[in-house]
Amino acid sequence: MLRVSAGLYKGRSLAAGSDPQVRPTMARVKLSFFDSVQEGIRDSIFLDGFSGSGHIGIEALSRGAEYVVFIDQLPEAVAVLRKNLDKIGIESDHYRIICGDFNRSVIQLAKEGFQFDYIYLDPPYDLLEVANPLKVVFKRGIYKADGLIVLERRGSTRFDAKYFERWRSKEIGREALDFYRPFPPTPATQTK
């Protein structure tokens, strides 16, 4: 059973669903992330990419995030996410759910002018062998200049983001969290 670990909804239980394609973030990985960002979550705009049952984004809302966008392409996962949000009683003006392909969803969010303080990505681990979900994030510019992008991956998977500066990596058991931020502007880009 998943639980909200801190904040307004602390202790509330969350369903994980039964779809084997949905792999909820382990509690210790989730806690490691939120311990790293501390109070920075408060009043933030947060993207929970590949959200599954939504317990990362729900934790962000519980800890004071202003707004969370959840993206997942599996209708079964989105149904569990809706059930979790309804069960807790989170008002719909604090979140948006997109059931669709991650890349297309990011393109749409960019067209709408979204920029996020935090982007948490928990893609299917095998996806990182063939695709880079950070590419569309970079190309569409949906992050704030001081934004933080966090990628959850299997610890044994080597991954090169290339579009962002990895300034921290934490191994937590068999999983790892990579913390990325935009590269600092170079003198040439500052004058443009």
First to last CA, the chain: 52
What's the sign of the alpha-carbon dihedral 68, 71, 76, 77?
negative
C-beta separation of 116 from 137 below 8 A: no
The structural domains of the chain, ordered by start, are 2-164+171-185 (3.40.50.150)
pLDDT tens for each residue of the chain, 192 residues long? 789 999 999 999 999 877 666 767 888 999 999 999 998 999 999 999 999 999 999 999 999 999 999 999 999 999 999 999 999 999 999 999 999 999 999 999 999 999 999 999 999 988 888 899 999 999 999 999 999 999 999 999 888 888 999 999 999 999 999 999 998 876 655 544
pTM for the structure as a whole: 0.93
94-144 residue pLDDT tens:
999 999 999 999 999 999 999 999 999 999 988 888 899 999 999 999 999
Of 178, 46, 78, residue with least CA distance to 125 = 178
DSSP assignment string, 45-109 = EEEEET-TT-HHHHHHHHTT-SEEEEEES-HHHHHHHHHHHHHHT--GGGEEEEES-HHHHHHHH
